[in-house]
Amino acid sequence: MPRANLYYEERSPAPLEMVWLEFRSKPLAMAALYMLLFITVLTVIGPLLTPYGANEQFIDAISLPPAWSESGNIRFLLGTDELGRDMVTRLIYGARYSFGLPVLVVLIAATIGIVLGAAAAMTVGVKSSTLKHLLDVLMSIPSLLLALIIVAILGPGLGNALFAIGLVLIPQFLHVTRNAIHDEQKRAYVTASKLNGVSKFYLLSHVIFPNIIKILVVQFTIGLSVAILDIAALGFLRLGAQAPTPEWGSMLAQSLEVAYVSPWIMALPGLALFLTLVSVNLVGETLRVAINRQLER
């Protein structure tokens, strides 16, 4: 016979469990999380699930409306474009260009920016002051404008667009990391750790960084949104991905000529961009709230 527990024991949820509970309490955040996971799966294995190629044309199905339309065809669930290419296939392939590549660019930019920002925060004097003023100037210029200038120098193309956006994002992560670490260094717990004689690496990795995670999460979310928008904008301006690459911004640009005749060709990539951006922002905001509550416990 099991014994009854006579002592009250308070159980604190684990950090990951707290994040999951925060998502479970918000239906919109759960929907955004599932949407983001769906887009991630499409980015990784989506092309293996498509029955057609991204640029495969069907002459007998040019500008075919979605399957639920009277003149639609079940073979092409979301219809075809002006060249007879399957819209579902192109949207799935486009997830790699419009979501997968921005994630990769932001990860690289965040790594470089955080390392440089941490190094800058631990230095004082003329170098630190000069870097701060230089970053303030760079941050005052819109990211898309900087990307346009860099692409204008390097030339149009998806590779140059990704390189330009990465260069634009690095100062943002550097600036945010430097300011966050600089503010945390004034805290009493950091001073106590310094008096205990810990090394700079231990001070950064074990004392300061756990307390600025929420700031970095917010910045990563903002950076990912900026990267997705800028890649789509450069593709729309025909300075990024070039036809026939199925990048969503480039698909929007190609659909302008037939927008009134075949509106689904423009609506579908636009809807994909909208859902991706909303999902990224909602998931990032929920993560920030969950981390903030965890730090307050």
Provide the sign of the torsion angle of the four alpha carbons 34, 40, 46, 48, taken in this order. Answer: negative
Contact 118, 124 (CB under 8 A): no
pLDDT at residue number 278: 93
User: Taking the domains of the chain in order of start, what are their residue ranges?
Assistant: 89-296
125 falls in which pLDDT band (50, 70, 90)?
low
pLDDT at residue number 200: 78
| CATH architecture of the domain covering 89-296 | Orthogonal Bundle (1.10)
Per-residue pLDDT reduced to its tens digit, 180-223: 888 888 888 888 888 788 877 888 888 888 888 888 888 898 89
Instruction: State the chain's maximal CA–CA distance in angstroms.
Output: 79
Least confident of 46-55, 125-134, 224-233, 263-272: 125-134
Q: What is the rounded distance in angstroms from the CA atom of residue 87 to the CA atom of residue 14?
A: 43
297 falls in which pLDDT band (50, 70, 90)?
low
> Which two tokens mark 134?
């230089």
| 5 has pLDDT over 60 | no
